[in-house]
Amino acid sequence: MFRMILYTQWKWSRLILLPAVIAAFALPVFSVQVVGTPNQSGWEARRILSAVQTWGIAYPLLATGIALAIAMTAWGPDHRGRHVYALSLPVPRWNYALQRFGAGIVLLIAPALALWIGAALAATTAQIPAGLHAYPVALAARFTLALAVAYAVFFAITAGTTRTAGYVLATLGGIVLIQIFAASVGIEIQLLPFVSDRLLLWPGPFEIFSGRWMLIDV
């Protein structure tokens, strides 16, 4: 049963997975181009770290984008059929949802693996100056975890009705609007920083997305 669910999900998301895998492989490779060649005179560790850090912003964005796309394709065909097919299959709903979730996770292994290979390749080919080290495994592990967290969140949101997704978006939009309105009338409310801190700082659920995503670090 899981194999067929995985197959359908693969069929629906293969056009997304292919560029996702390429992007995940290419990102670490491109990010070390700044390191230069061994003949280059005088390593500028600070400049390298700064450049690698700039590239680092792309990792959580890529993880979020891939996870969102895969989550949407996981439920898209069911949404189009108003979930009648899935609900008329003789499996408990939680079981079906779990298998769809699991299938998405299995598919996400491909970009995670691509990033790990790309990072490992980049780490071995780049001439890293003394004092700096490459962390391909740590970066790949972090990317994998970010994929899983983002996928879980988007999977849950897209599994619901359009109304549910609307509520989530309206809540986020409302927070932003309140913050903008408060700032425009001179009221000191730190609603947006408060919410983002709770979400992005430990023990917030999205802590994995914050901080430094560095393939090369001290």
Partner 1 sequence: MSHAIDIRDLHYKAGSFELRELALRVPTGSLYGFLGPNGSGKTTTVRLMLGLLRPLRGSITVLGAEVPRDIPRILARTGYVPEQPHLYTTLTVDEALRFHSVFYPTWDWDWANELVGSFGLDRARRLSQLSKGEMGKLEMLLALAQRPELLVLDEPTDGLDPVVRRDVLAALLDYVSQQNATVFISSHLVHELERICDWVGVMDRGRLVAELPMQSFKNGIKRLRVANPPALPGDTPFVVLAREGGNGGSETWTVRGWQAPMSQYFDGVGASLREVIDLDLEEGFVELLRTFREPRD
Interacting residues with partner 1 (CB under 8 A): 1, 3-4, 7-8, 11-12, 77, 80-82, 84-85, 87-92
Q: Which is nearer to partner 1, 124 or 164 (CB)?
A: 164
How near is the Cβ of 15 to partner 1 at its closest, in Å?
11
Q: Which is nearer to partner 1, 38 or 92 (CB)?
A: 92
DSSP character string of the chain: -HHHHHHHHHHHHHHHHHHHHHHHHHHHHHHTGGG--TT-SS--HHHHHHHHHHHHTHHHHHHHHHHHHHHHHHHHHHHHTTTHHHHHSSS-HHHHHHHHHHHHHHHHHHHHHHHHHHHHHHHHHS-PPTT-EE-HHHHHHHHHHHHHHHHHHHHHHHHS-HHHHHHHHHHHHHHHHHHHHHHHTT----HHHHHHHHHHSTTSTTGGGSS---SEE-
Q: Which is nearer to partner 1, 8 or 210 (CB)?
A: 8
How near is the Cβ of 165 to partner 1 at its closest, in Å?
21
Q: Which is nearer to partner 1, 13 or 179 (CB)?
A: 13
How near is the Cβ of 161 to partner 1 at its closest, in Å?
14
How near is the Cβ of 12 to partner 1 at its closest, in Å?
6
How near is the Cβ of 85 to partner 1 at its closest, in Å?
4
